[in-house]
């Protein structure tokens, strides 16, 4: 982990209340460092994409995409679209997970209050609800967010279809470039490697 990532994790942990796993957006914005994306980049000599550890908010692994030395405009367009899609995906799931955690915590507290119980028992242990009681929350949360998830799925498919088409175009251009280079080298009488 880089120093920036460690600092962000430390700030993130400072803002996490014990009862909630994800911080509120207001608390997250109180952190003045760049918590969403590490500034660390692989060495220019790297030949592969780098995949990082899961983000604590979105649970998604960030990817640093390899930039080829002679990247074409089409390859750059593809890489940028992949990066934009990753950022969009991260933002959606970070917001969704924060909302889920807040609403789940509020539901647990309201259910315990309705039973005349506190959040902690006599020994200081956190009380929990039964799986049947939590099933009500999960169903309500999914029902309430059905349209949001449907819109997310539509956009996800649209983005992935576009990425797939761009990948096909990049591959076809690469194959065409290779065939053209071999053909022109045969015409010139120079052997190819």
Q: SS3 for 109?
A: helix
Residue 54 has pLDDT above 70, yes or no: yes
Structural domain range at position 34: 3-188
Residue 193 belongs to some domain of the structure:
no
Strand 50-51, strand 63-64: pairing: antiparallel
- Contacts of residue 192, defined as CB under 8 A and 6 or more positions apart, other chains included, come to 181, 182, 185, 186
Q: What's the chain's average pLDDT?
A: 80
- Structure confidence at residue 30 (pLDDT): 37
Number of domains in the chain: 1
This prediction's pTM = 0.69
Average pLDDT over residues 140-168: 97
- Structure confidence at residue 180 (pLDDT): 87
Residue 152 has pLDDT above 70, yes or no: yes
Residue 178 has pLDDT above 80, yes or no: yes
- Structure confidence at residue 50 (pLDDT): 87
Average pLDDT over residues 106-114: 95
**17-50, pLDDT tens digit by residue?**
333 334 444 444 433 333 455 555 556 557 888 8
Q: Sign of the C-alpha dihedral, residues 23, 27, 29, 35?
A: negative
Residue 48 belongs to some domain of the structure:
yes
**123-136, pLDDT tens digit by residue?**
999 999 999 999 99
Asked whether 107 and 128 are in contact (CB, 8 A), the reply is no
Q: How far is CA 32 from CA 9, 27, 28, in A?
A: 12, 10, 9
Residue 72 belongs to some domain of the structure:
yes
Distance CA 37, CA 29 (A): 14
Q: How far is CA 83 from CA 60, 63, 67, 80, in A?
A: 13, 8, 12, 5
- Structure confidence at residue 192 (pLDDT): 56
Residue 108 has pLDDT above 70, yes or no: yes
Average pLDDT over residues 114-131: 91
Residue 15 has pLDDT above 50, yes or no: no
Residue 175 has pLDDT above 90, yes or no: yes
- Structure confidence at residue 29 (pLDDT): 40
Going through the chain in order, the beta strands assigned E by DSSP cover 50-51, 63-64
- Structure confidence at residue 109 (pLDDT): 94
- Structure confidence at residue 14 (pLDDT): 31
Per the model's pLDDT, the better-predicted residue between 34 and 89 turns out to be: 89
CA angle (53 as vertex; 47, 65 as ends), nearest 5? 30
């Amino acid at each position: 982990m880089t120093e920036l990532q460690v600092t962000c994790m430390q700030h993130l942990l400072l803002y996490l209340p014990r009862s909630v796993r994800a911080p509120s957006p207001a608390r997250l914005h109180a952190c003045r460092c760049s918590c969403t994306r590490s500034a660390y980049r692989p060495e220019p000599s790297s030949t592969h994409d780098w995949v990082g550890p899961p983000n604590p908010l979105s649970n998604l692994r960030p990817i640093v995409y390899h930039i080829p030395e002679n990247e074409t405009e089409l390859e750059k367009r593809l890489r940028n679209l992949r990066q934009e899609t990753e950022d969009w995906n991260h933002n959606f799931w970070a917001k969704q997970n924060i909302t889920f955690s807040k609403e789940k915590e509020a539901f647990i507290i309201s259910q315990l209050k309705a039973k005349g119980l506190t959040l902690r028992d006599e020994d200081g242990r956190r009380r929990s609800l039964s799986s049947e009681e939590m099933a009500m929350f999960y169903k309500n949360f999914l029902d309430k967010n059905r349209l949001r998830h449907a819109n997310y799925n539509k956009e996800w498919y649209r983005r992935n279809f576009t990425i797939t088409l761009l990948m096909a175009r990049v591959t076809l251009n690469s194959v065409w470039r290779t065939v053209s280079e071999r053909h022109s080298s045969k015409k010139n009488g120079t052997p190819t490697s």
